[in-house]
């Protein structure tokens, strides 16, 4: 099971990348009442049957791993949200894309911590593929708010797979995070 | 630290670029691939990814290395998994690569061109692994 909200988010982003998306939007809002996350993509989307299967930990299309029946990404989020009395929604339309939202209330002791969001964003941005990514981040405690686009970062530092670019992007994001 | 602007980021890159070109003789021909499926993330692959980039920085290797991510490599029982592909070395999939051993991997495999035997889980012929 994942430790932080960031781990759950990264898992869903990995799905979005594999869905052949052109645009992936990630939003993390550390509000007073808890942490809200949104991951939206314009990838291949799911039919109602595929959507139901995506939420069943023991049924998997087997597309990624032939012969394997488990798929734990979304079921993990659902389980964690249930334990913490939060909320979860999964909207998807075949051919249009998918939107995942979840919320962990600050008042519940079972809510995971937000985690290291700089690491989350670096890992998100360096995923394979040429798709655009928009990352939005807000924090109510000190009014922190910023937005970064993958295309702008690539334009500034070059290919994000290169270790030197990754170090620069990490520094850039860390400075945004400190406001 | 104040919020860096994109212009400042460009300037920083230009400055780093100069330093990198001086030592970038082999080209970017080393690939480090971190498994970032559900299993990998749960086992701490994100921290491993960060630790690898930090170790590359420490050992002045960032100009030569591409760090990528992939989904599950099928070795969920030994996550986090990291594959290293580089010239003159067999491609190796290392397992149990938690962030605390990331620097060992960089030093042993990438710098010393040797193998981190205790963490090999796939790819090299059995006769070249010392156990």
- ipTM score for this prediction: 0.81
CATH number at residue A54: 3.30.565
pLDDT digits (tens, 9 = 90+) for B92-119: 999 999 999 999 999 999 999 999 999 9
The reply to whether B49 touches chain A by the CB within 8 Å rule is yes
Domain that holds residue B105: 26-128
When comparing pLDDT for B116 and B23, which is higher?
B116
B9: in domain: no
Burial (CB count within 10 angstroms: exposed 0-12, middle 13-18, buried 19+), residue B88: exposed
**Of the candidates A120, A127, A167, which has its C-beta nearest B69's C-beta?**
A127
* Number of structural domains found in chain B: 1
**Cβ B46–A168 below 8 Å, yes or no?**
no
Longest dimension (CA), chain B: 54
**Residue B115 CA: distances (Å) to CA of A43, A148, A149, B4, B120:** 39, 39, 38, 39, 8
Place of tokens 């597309």: A63
The predicted pLDDT at position B129 comes to 61
* Strands of the sheet with A144-149, listed across from one edge: A87-93, A97-105, A34-41, A23-31, A132-139, A144-149
The predicted pLDDT at position B27 comes to 58
Chain A residue numbers touching B1 (CB-CB < 8 A): 174-175, 178
The predicted pLDDT at position B84 comes to 95
β-strands B30-35, B65-70 pairing: parallel
Place of tokens 């420490």: B58
Distance CA A131, CA A98 (A): 15
Residues of chain A with pLDDT under 70: none
Domain that holds residue A48: 5-178
* Number of structural domains found in chain A: 1
In chain B, residues 59-118 whose CB comes closer than 8 Å to chain A: 61-72, 74
CATH number at residue B41: 3.40.30.10
The predicted pLDDT at position B25 comes to 47
pLDDT digits (tens, 9 = 90+) for A9-45: 999 999 999 899 999 999 999 999 999 999 999 999 9
């Amino acid at each position: 099971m994942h430790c932080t909200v960031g781990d759950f988010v990264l898992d869903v982003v990995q799905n979005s990348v594999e869905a052949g998306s052109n645009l992936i939007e990630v939003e993390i809002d550390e509000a007073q009442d808890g942490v809200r996350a949104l991951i939206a993509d314009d990838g291949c989307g799911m039919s109602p049957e595929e959507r139901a299967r995506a939420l069943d930990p023991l049924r998997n299309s087997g597309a990624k791993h032939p012969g394997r029946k488990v798929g734990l990404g979304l079921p993990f989020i659902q389980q964690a949200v249930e334990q913490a009395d939060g909320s979860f929604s999964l909207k998807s339309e075949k051919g249009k894309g998918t939107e995942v939202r979840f919320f962990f209330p600050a008042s519940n002791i079972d809510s995971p911590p937000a985690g290291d969001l700089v690491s989350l964003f670096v890992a998100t941005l360096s995923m394979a593929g040429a798709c655009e990514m928009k990352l939005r981040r807000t924090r109510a405690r000190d009014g922190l708010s910023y937005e970064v686009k993958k295309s702008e970062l690539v334009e500034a530092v070059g290919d994000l797979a290169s270790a030197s670019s990754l170090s620069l992007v990490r520094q850039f994001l860390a400075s945004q995070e400190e406001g | 630290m104040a919020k860096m602007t994109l212009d400042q980021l460009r300037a920083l890159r230009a400055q780093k670029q100069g330093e990198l070109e001086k030592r970038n003789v082999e080209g970017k021909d080393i690939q480090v691939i971190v498994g970032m499926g559900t299993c990998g993330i749960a086992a701490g692959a994100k921290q491993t990814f960060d630790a690898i980039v930090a170790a590359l920085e420490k050992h002045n290797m960032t100009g030569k290395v591409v760090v990528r991510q992939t989904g599950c490599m099928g070795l969920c029982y030994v996550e986090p998994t990291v594959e290293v592909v580089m010239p003159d070395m067999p491609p190796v999939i290392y397992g149990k690569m938690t962030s605390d051993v990331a620097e060992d991997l960089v030093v042993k495999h990438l710098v010393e061109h040797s193998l981190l035997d205790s963490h090999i889980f796939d790819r090299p012929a059995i006769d070249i692994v010392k156990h």
